[in-house]
């Protein structure tokens, strides 16, 4: 099992979510986050005041996947989240030792 974390542009979230659903992925955790990589912040001056956004708003997706679905999900996210500009985001993968469903204590991939 692998945990996938993807930081994406908020404007791409709906497309990514729809595409993942079509690919059969129903479960995910979504968080509104802020951050930056190489993408610079944004400053607007409005009525004499500067409004600087150093940490840009992003969406973080998290899901734990059976090994056989990882490549499909990564490809799906890459296709739908990409705009080609700096700030598109990143995907991180890490191994998961165990998953347990609280309701019936199922373990392993059956719990996903």
Q: In angstroms, what is the minimal distance from the CB of 67 to other proteins?
A: 32
Residues 77-96, interacting with other proteins (CB under 8 A): 83
Rounded to the nearest 10°, the torsion over CA 55, 56, 57, 63 is -80
- Which residues on neighbouring strands pair with residue 44, listed in sequence order? 51
Q: In angstroms, what is the minimal distance from the CB of 22 to other proteins?
A: 18
Give the helix/strand (H/E) hosting 75: helix 67-81
Site string for other proteins, 55-74 (x = CB under 8 A): -xx-----------------
β-pairing verdict for 29-35 and 56-65: antiparallel
User: Does 103 sit near other proteins (CB under 8 A)?
Assistant: no
Token pair for 8 = 């994406």
Report the candidate in 47, 55, 46, 93 with the shortest Cα–Cα distance to residue 74: 93
User: Does 97 sit near other proteins (CB under 8 A)?
Assistant: no
Site string for other proteins, 13-52 (x = CB under 8 A): xx-----------------xxx-------x-xxxxx--x-
Nearer to other proteins, 90 or 107 (CB): 90
């Amino acid at each position: 099992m692998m945990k996938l974390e993807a930081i994406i542009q908020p404007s791409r979230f709906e497309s990514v979510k729809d595409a993942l659903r079509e690919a059969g992925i129903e479960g995910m955790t979504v968080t509104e986050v802020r951050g930056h990589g190489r993408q610079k912040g944004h400053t607007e001056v409005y009525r004499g005041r500067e409004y600087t956004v150093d940490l840009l708003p992003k969406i973080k997706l998290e899901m734990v996947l059976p090994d056989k679905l990882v490549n499909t999900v990564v490809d799906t996210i890459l296709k739908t989240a990409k705009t080609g500009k700096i700030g598109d985001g990143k995907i991180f993968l890490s191994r998961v030792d165990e998953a347990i469903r609280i309701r019936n204590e199922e373990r392993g991939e059956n719990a996903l």
